[in-house]
Amino acid sequence: MVESASGTKWRAVFWDIGGVILDSRSVRRAHEAFVRTIVERHAPETSVEDALARWRTAVGTYFRERDGTEFRRARTAYDRAVDEITGEPIPEDEWRPVFESVTTEMLRPNPGAVEAIERLAGETEIHVGVVSDVDTEEGMRILETFGVRERFDSITTSEMVGRTKPDPRMFETALRAADVSPSDAAMIGDRYEHDVAGASAVGMTAIGYGAEEGPETDYAIDDLREVLSIVGVEDEGTSEN
């Protein structure tokens, strides 16, 4: 437990993956590179621009069709999008290794994410966890790629819970895994309605990273290393990773 300058005794800090640990811009670049590879191998008559449009439409439609906070696997969306590009079914065991190779090479963490996670895990007794809407396997692979998988005490994904944020079951599952009360925990997220308001609704402290600010935002940060000072960890500067 760490006590901050405000007097809060922190027992857990939870991180979102997409948009917080993971730089969303690198996701777009990786997906574009993957689509180019699919076009080269399976649909050379299709322009990359058209293929990207089909990819975005197929993935977007798949997720928009879900019922409320129902979980839907991203892998299924990618499978459908690949088929839309090629015009015929491509077995997952053909496209999946390509997708994983490209994304592992191109995905990047946000500045300060790795440093902040490593310091929280290495210098405090705070429970460091993940609450993310990702597929479990994909989330684990991203954390392993960034070298922080073992730094987390718990990982809660939408695939595990069957729901997505802001469903309270996402946060409640994570709190149970950490065995902490909401008032002793903080959530770092980049989306106001899903992460910030969702965490606040169950009684957690809500930290918005690059998120739209609103009445439920307890802290708004532009650098993830600011989390360290919020929870009372001594500042060591803000040099880039």
- pLDDT tens-digit map of 9-57: 799 999 999 999 999 999 999 999 999 999 999 999 999 999 999 999 9
Asked, for residue 135, whether it belongs to a domain, the answer is yes
Whether residues 226 and 172 share a domain: the answer is: yes
Domain residue limits at 18: 2-23+109-230
Asked, for residue 236, whether it belongs to a domain, the answer is no
The gap between the terminal CA atoms of the chain, to the nearest Å, is: 27
Q: Which two tokens mark 128?
A: 């460091």
- Helices 136-145 & 74-86, crossing angle to 10 degrees? 90
Asked, for residue 80, whether it belongs to a domain, the answer is yes
Whether residues 86 and 193 share a domain: the answer is: no
Angstrom distance (rounded) from CA 129 to CA 143: 12
Give the pLDDT score at 240.
44
68 Cβ contact partners less than 8 Å away, ≥ 6 residues apart: 167
Asked, for residue 87, whether it belongs to a domain, the answer is yes
Mean pLDDT of all residues in 138-163 = 98
Binned at pLDDT 50, 70 and 90, residue 72 comes out as very high
Domains held by the chain: number: 2
Give the pLDDT score at 235.
63
What letter represents residue 200's amino acid?
S
Inter-CA distances, 88 with 26, 75, 84, 180, Å: 28, 17, 7, 49
Q: Which two tokens mark 92?
A: 């997952």
Angstrom distance (rounded) from CA 44 to CA 22: 31
Whether residues 19 and 44 share a domain: the answer is: no
Give the pLDDT score at 20.
98
- pLDDT tens-digit map of 99-130: 999 999 999 999 999 999 999 999 999 999 99
88 Cβ contact partners less than 8 Å away, ≥ 6 residues apart: none
Whether residues 210 and 141 share a domain: the answer is: yes
* DSSP for residue 101: H
Does this model's pTM top 0.85?
yes
Q: What are phi and psi of 66, to 5 degrees?
A: -70, 160
Look at strands 185-189 and 12-15 and give their pairing.
parallel
Q: Which single residue is written with the structure tokens 């089909």? A: 54
CATH number of residue 192's parent domain: 3.40.50.1000
